[in-house]
Amino acid sequence: MPAEDRRISKSPWACGIVAGLVVFVAGAAFGEGRKPLAPASLGGSGTAILEPGEENPGGVATTTVGITTADAFSQLSANMPFARELDFKIGNGIFRRNWVSAPSSTKSSDGLGPLYNARACQACHLKDGRGHPPRGTELEDRSISILLRLSVPPETEADRALIASGRASAIGEPTYGGQLQELGIQGHAGEGRMVVTYEEMPVRLADGETVNLRKPTYHIADLGYGPMHPRTMISPRLTPQMIGLGLLEAIPEADILAREDPDDKDGDGISGRANRVWSVENGALMLGRFGWKAGQPTVKQQAAEAFAADIGIGSPLVPHGYGDCTPAQKLCREAPHGGRGAKGSGEEINAKLLDLVAFYARNLAVPARRTPDAPDVLRGKQIFHDIGCASCHVPSHKTGEQSPDEHLRGQTIWPYTDLLLHDMGDGLADGRPEGRADGREWRTAPLWGIGLTEIVNGHTFFLHDGRARNLTEAILWHDGEARKARDAFASLTAEDRRRLIAFVNSL
């Protein structure tokens, strides 16, 4: 395979998932795989009702009520102590800061790169919301909010020991590291350029409607540092929305683990399991909660890893002033960095500033729901439960006492996730393990705020790589453990599909 045209494509499934869906829905029984609503969710007639607090998914005290503008994902927790508001605003300023290369007269802002994907956190997390796949050839609209993770299978005893211990979740590509950086500072070539093409895959639903799904194929053009390892695994990752992260971090670990069923002992077809990843701060394995494969244990570590890999900024948790540059990229390793800690430490953002960024990220509030008690929305809620969507997209949790932010504790929240890994089938598989997650598994994505994506970010691209152009396409891509729920959705009448989508959009 030519070095300048490194490709990844999904396993052939035109006669698998799509054809199987068409065959099934033609005679599907509505409700197969259903998870009935709990009694508290039903009215006297057996229809869904609005439950207490459900209209405030981030908790009664923490939800930003009534914000439905383009700034809906950028509001602070409403019950945050006034004394911490300045910390939130400083964290926001660091999140938005454009970093420059070292050495620079702006000592608090230098250290960019030498290879990087963006100059600021906000450049990828657009308005604290969801990124999009490439929509054109211009840099700012090409791939700045989507990236490619890179890894190879462990080949040495040392590699295998790292993976077995959990100290590494993947082995980076020997030359290009764990992530493709398209950009470089002056004198440093970017590593390559992600290119994605799509094949339209028609799916016929039970009522005769046809929906076209986009099957993506990725390749890397213009490799800047020679050929890649022949067994390189590539996984596209869209930047997710930022709301409610501190609340997800505050869900007691025991509550999440109680929902694991790796062997499907209850026979419902759902076998979620937790990812276990290395905590740098604790020096031990912890429950993974964040990222598309639950690859990070805390908001703070997620921020530190993103600073290093995306911007090339070293921190006390990931003290590499050269970012993701590998030993094979000698010029990159020898470039000046903005480290101001111990000599050679490579800490370009200090512990205090990293803590402020983490505080900001933990305290981005969840917007209130829109029209949660509308008849069609409540009917859609009933269907959501009936066809089994709530088996993985678990509606509510209660936060515990372990949060570093006292105001986030003891909240009943409605994120619609179990934070567990689930086999999503061949169609969505990236074939790239991460920690204990295999190449077919993905963490259940939270659904809160999803209906505001178009208002905040100007698009409706969903799933880990944005292949779905709307919620209907996103649902139809589900397979594996979600197959029964997907097929039940495809067997609904057009009116009931519309009602279910109305419910999801209200979250």
Residue-wise pLDDT tens digits, 359-389: 999 999 999 999 999 999 999 999 999 999 9
333-340 mean pLDDT: 81
Provide the domain limits for residue 45.
5-506
Q: Which residues pair with 398 in a beta bridge?
A: 412
Q: What is the reported pLDDT for 348?
A: 92
- Which positions ≥6 away from 390 have C-beta within 8 Å? 35, 37, 384, 416
55-60 mean pLDDT: 92
Does pLDDT of 301 surpass 60? yes
> Total structural domains in the chain?
1
165-190 mean pLDDT: 96
Does pLDDT of 139 surpass 70? no
CA-to-CA distance for 304 and 297, rounded, in angstroms?
A: 12
Please, which contacts does 102-109 make with residues 24 or more away whose CB atoms are closer than 8 Å? 102/321, 102/336, 102/337, 102/338, 102/348, 103/336, 103/338, 104/338, 107/338, 107/340
- Report the helix count and the strand count for the chain, using DSSP H and E: 14, 13
| Residue-wise pLDDT tens digits, 75-125 | 999 899 999 999 999 999 999 999 998 887 777 788 899 999 999 999 999
Please report, to the nearest 10 degrees, the dihedral formed by the alpha carbons of residues 124, 336, 170, 356 taken in order. Answer: -50
Q: What is the reported pLDDT for 460?
A: 96
Nearest to 243 by CA among 414, 11, 384, 34: 414
Mean model confidence pLDDT for the chain: 89
Does pLDDT of 319 surpass 80? yes
Residue type for position 305: E
Does pLDDT of 237 surpass 50? yes
Nearest to 194 by CA among 465, 474, 473, 470: 465
285-309 mean pLDDT: 97
| Residue-wise pLDDT tens digits, 164-177 | 999 999 999 999 99
CA-to-CA distance for 313 and 335, rounded, in angstroms?
A: 13
Q: What is the reported pLDDT for 61?
A: 72
Q: What is the reported pLDDT for 142?
A: 53
User: Which tokens sit at 50?
Assistant: 């609005």
